[in-house]
Amino acid sequence: MTRVTYLGFPRIGRRRELKRALETYWRDGDAAPLLDTARELRARHWQLAREAGVDVVPANDFSLYDHVLDHAVLFDAIPARYRPAFAADPLRGYFAMARGDAELHALEMTKWFDTNYHYLVPELQAGQSFRLTGDKPLAEWREAQALGIEARPVLLGPVSFLRLSKTVDGSDPLQLLDALLPVYAELLAQLAAAGVAWVQIDEPCLVLDLDAPTRQAYEKAYATLAKGATPKRLLATYFGALQDNLALAASLPVDGLHVDLVRAPEQLDAVLTALPADRVLSAGVVDGRNVWRSRPAQVSALLEHATRRGSDQLWLAPSCSLLHVPIDAEQETQLAGDLRSWLAFARQKLEELRLYADALAGDAQAREQLAQQTARLEARGRAPGVQRQDVRGRLQALSPQATLRRSERPYRRSVQAGALKLPPLPTTTIGSFPQTDALRRARAEHRAGRLDTAAYESVLAEEIQHVLKQQEALGLDVLVHGEPERNDMVEYFGEQLEGFAFTRHGWVQSYGSRCVKPPLIWGDVARPAPMTVRWSSYAQSLTEKPVKGMLTGPVTVLQWSFVRDDLPRETVCRQLALALRDEVHDLERAGIQVIQIDEPALREGLPLRHAEQAHYLDWAVQCFRITAGGVADATQIHTHMCYSEFNAIIEAVSALDADVISIESSRSRMELLDAFERFRYPGDIGPGVYDIHSPRVPATTEMAGLLRKALEVLDAGQLWVNPDCGLKTRGWTEVNQALAAMVAAAHELRGELAQRAA
């Protein structure tokens, strides 16, 4: 019989129970309630999966903070600085690695492939050893057993573990493979001895472009692991096609292979041909990365082929772990119209898989339910708002001219210099100022209907007055209104655009206890009315200095939402770009001379395979340019990006044709600047001079030092002075101190430049 399974489940809980338990533990230090909550969540989620009709559940997919960190700890890959904390209390040591503590800084955190989930990067060292500590995979498997549920422990595979790690000495982490493999072998033997039938070994790096040493590492690792005592092994790949790695993956001595047939349905035939007949095929047929119900016709077409494998050799699963979707769409009772019936969160995805499996086995009722799903999805295509003539017509009429500014950059620069009269090395901030408790409270009260709109707006107006007064006192050159009216930089715009909807409990883990609630883009996107003009013009009316208008760019709105799956992402992005373009024009008409369009997520959307990157960058850049295009030469367009590796895409960043970019770089001590040794960036640029994620107030000398470093590769005429990112998470005291020091650093450098000129 075709079995239904899945690779991993959201850990956070329907109501973010894990988040609450973590925060309580961090406050009180009492581990027992945290561990109880964790155990309850695992049990509840397994039970939920069973009720949805799943045959085999994963175990050890749960984590208190991050699964990559769990593996580092399991293998004793613990950097020396954390050892004393571990010795005192392993849980304290674990969280010190995850988030730092009073003395220790945390491990580096980075995005898990192209998702918005962040993992902790294991820190390794040439020549180090590993050993097995603890028995988390086995213990969690036993928990499921005790509940009478058949489970399969999940491990991150050795090659992906090493590829996702870094070394402190710059050596290749793969060189540690020989040291690491015995630990995996021991772990597999331990599981086999306990009676575990199958393990799932995740090797998502198999969907990346791999060099020869990594391929060899795969061959060696899996040949070694096949030798000893071991449960059967399901090798799991996801987030894309195996492509040129298919032959490698299919040749590895394992017992089953999971493939992503949502992002890469076209690989099915090749997989069926390449995979030896005795292997299980786990077919990832419903989307683990998005929230819409699957299309029965598409899935059934895949399954018709896949059954060549024989039903005992075929498993059905979501494309990847369900970590990236919320748990239960049933909770979203407030959603308008039929929207909820179009949604499948984790629970609904498992139910869908059950239907597909039953339908394959000839169950008439399952077939009938899938037919109803098809009908509902067809109705969705005709629902009001899904296909708007006005939006589609405008997109069709869009000419390439729309992406162009009126003049080239050098001419614009001179016009803007005349209009704005800024000093050399102008100072500015990224947009937000501290979101104080009072502001959050007022917003919550207003939402709950306890504070009327007039009263709420006067809170905002007062805050804007305060923010402007502070900036004038600090002597900043280009001011901002501080974004006090915004809960979130995507949600704020989504709420004012048509085609968006918001869930109440649609939380997804971003890292550790931090969750995000991405909006749903379900229909064509349009802007019924201006969104930011009011507060921006109010702020401008309070000062002689230029106030920057502040928008979230189309690519970032797209990237941080759940996007409808019946249109290509690039089409949805162009709709967003047109809506935001209207906003840019309205700001300009209202007298705003400087407009910033934030694109912090531009890098995150970059496809994992090199061959697909150019096309993405093409349309992403085009969408930004549609948003900014058409303004007067005198209007200065800024953009902002942060917390990604930009060096590789600096050409695309330049192609945005923004007049000024502010970009994070202080954390890496201006590593970004290396890019400018090979590429002459033509625009103005403000490499961030201090890390806003840290409460530490940087000294003037430190920031002046970074600016001097920047001036080694940039012209004085193109350099701006600004922090790394927005200040909303900081307190006023530190912000005032840090900005005062930053302005002083700019003055110091201006003095040096004047002297040099004299």
| Residues taking part in catalysis | 693
CA 170 – CA 683 distance, rounded (Å): 33
Identify which of residues 413 and 640 has a Cβ nearer to ligand GLN in the complex.
Answer: 640
Q: How many helices (H) and strands (E) does the chain have?
A: 28, 22
CA 2 – CA 366 distance, rounded (Å): 14
The one of Zn ion, ligand GLN, none whose footprint includes residue 61, by CB under 5 to 8 A per kind, is: none
The angle formed by the CA atoms of residues 116, 513 and 60, to the nearest 5 degrees, is 80
DSSP-derived pairing of the beta strands 256-260 and 280-286:
parallel
User: Which residue is at the shortest CB distance from ligand GLN?
Assistant: 726
Name the segment binding ligand GLN (CB under 6 A); options: 178-186, 401-409, 425-433, 470-478: 425-433
For the chain, the first-to-last Cα distance in angstroms comes to: 85
Other CB atoms closer than 10 Å to residue 510's CB: what's the count?
Answer: 17
The answer to whether 18 touches 376, Cβ cutoff 8 Å, is: no
Identify which of residues 267 and 432 has a Cβ nearer to ligand GLN in the complex.
Answer: 432
Other CB atoms closer than 10 Å to residue 311's CB: what's the count?
Answer: 14
The one of ligand GLN, Zn ion, none whose footprint includes residue 426, by CB under 5 to 8 A per kind, is: none
445: exposed, middle or buried (C-beta count within 10 Å: 0-12, 13-18, 19+)?
A: middle
Q: Which of 173, 256, 265, 431 binds ligand GLN (CB under 6 A)?
A: 431
CA 734 – CA 693 distance, rounded (Å): 12
The one of ligand GLN, Zn ion, none whose footprint includes residue 481, by CB under 5 to 8 A per kind, is: none
Letters for 545-584 (x = contact with ligand GLN by CB under 6 A, - = none) are -----x----------------------------------
Q: Is 629 in the site for ligand GLN (CB under 6 A)?
A: no
Identify which of residues 264 and 725 has a Cβ nearer to ligand GLN in the complex.
Answer: 725
533: three-class secondary structure by DSSP: helix
Residues in a beta bridge with 526: 498
- Token readout for 604 is 């995150």
Query: Which residues contact residue 395 at a Cβ distance below 8 angstroms, ignoring those fewer than 6 apart?
Result: 571, 574, 575, 578
CA 403 – CA 519 distance, rounded (Å): 27
Q: Which of 370, 642, 652, 721 binds ligand GLN (CB under 6 A)?
A: 642
Q: Which of 191, 584, 725, 739 binds ligand GLN (CB under 6 A)?
A: 725
Q: Is 489 in the site for ligand GLN (CB under 6 A)?
A: yes
Q: Closest separation between CB of residue 430 and Zn ion, Å?
A: 6
Q: Is 600 in the site for ligand GLN (CB under 6 A)?
A: yes
Residues in a beta bridge with 166: 123
Window 575-634: residues binding Zn ion (CB under 5 A): 600
Name the segment binding ligand GLN (CB under 6 A); options: 279-287, 369-377, 428-436, 469-477: 428-436
Q: Closest separation between CB of residue 430 and ligand GLN, Å?
A: 4
Q: Which of 491, 565, 586, 598 binds ligand GLN (CB under 6 A)?
A: 598
CA 61 – CA 39 distance, rounded (Å): 13
Residues in a beta bridge with 637: 595
Q: Which of 526, 725, 727, 742 binds Zn ion (CB under 5 A)?
A: 725
The answer to whether 495 touches 537, Cβ cutoff 8 Å, is: no
Q: Is 512 in the site for ligand GLN (CB under 6 A)?
A: no
Identify which of residues 484 and 683 has a Cβ nearer to ligand GLN in the complex.
Answer: 484
Q: Is 665 in the site for ligand GLN (CB under 6 A)?
A: no
The C-alpha torsion from 147 through 152 and 158 to 159, rounded to 10°, is: -140
Name the segment binding Zn ion (CB under 5 A); options: 263-271, 460-468, 557-565, 724-732: 724-732
CA 48 – CA 329 distance, rounded (Å): 13
Q: Closest separation between CB of residue 646 and ligand GLN, Å?
A: 13
Window 628-667: residues binding Zn ion (CB under 5 A): 642
The one of Zn ion, ligand GLN, none whose footprint includes residue 432, by CB under 5 to 8 A per kind, is: ligand GLN
Question: Which H helix or E strand runs over 758?
Answer: none
Identify which of residues 210 and 663 has a Cβ nearer to Zn ion in the complex.
Answer: 663
Q: Closest separation between CB of residue 723 and ligand GLN, Å?
A: 9
Q: Is 640 in the site for ligand GLN (CB under 6 A)?
A: yes
Q: Which of 430, 558, 592, 597 binds ligand GLN (CB under 6 A)?
A: 430
CA distances from 659 to 173, 417, 423, 587, 676 (A): 40, 11, 16, 17, 17
Name the segment binding ligand GLN (CB under 6 A); options: 35-43, 427-435, 453-461, 532-540: 427-435
Residues in a beta bridge with 153: 59
Name the segment binding Zn ion (CB under 5 A); options: 149-157, 165-173, 193-201, 719-727: 719-727
Identify which of residues 57 and 725 has a Cβ nearer to Zn ion in the complex.
Answer: 725
Identify which of residues 248 and 595 has a Cβ nearer to ligand GLN in the complex.
Answer: 595
The answer to whether 93 touches 78, Cβ cutoff 8 Å, is: yes
- Token readout for 130 is 């590993």
The answer to whether 561 touches 521, Cβ cutoff 8 Å, is: yes
Q: Is 550 in the site for Zn ion (CB under 5 A)?
A: no
Identify which of residues 52 and 490 has a Cβ nearer to ligand GLN in the complex.
Answer: 490
Name the segment binding ligand GLN (CB under 6 A); options: 138-146, 409-417, 517-525, 724-732: 724-732
Identify which of residues 426 and 549 has a Cβ nearer to ligand GLN in the complex.
Answer: 549
The one of Zn ion, ligand GLN, none whose footprint includes residue 431, by CB under 5 to 8 A per kind, is: ligand GLN
Other CB atoms closer than 10 Å to residue 63's CB: what's the count?
Answer: 21
Compute φ and ψ for 720, nearest 5 degrees.
-110, 165
CA distances from 273 to 133, 264, 276, 281, 642 (A): 40, 16, 8, 11, 44
Q: Closest separation between CB of residue 448 and ligand GLN, Å?
A: 24
Residue in 325, 171, 263 with CA at minimum distance from that of residue 608: 263
Window 179-198: residues binding Zn ion (CB under 5 A): none
Q: What's the DSSP call for residue 721?
A: B
Q: Which of 61, 370, 726, 746 binds ligand GLN (CB under 6 A)?
A: 726
Contacts to ligand GLN by CB under 6 A = 430-432, 483, 489, 550, 598, 600, 640, 642, 725-726, 728
Query: Where do contacts with Zn ion occur on this chain (CB under 5 A)?
Result: 600, 642, 725
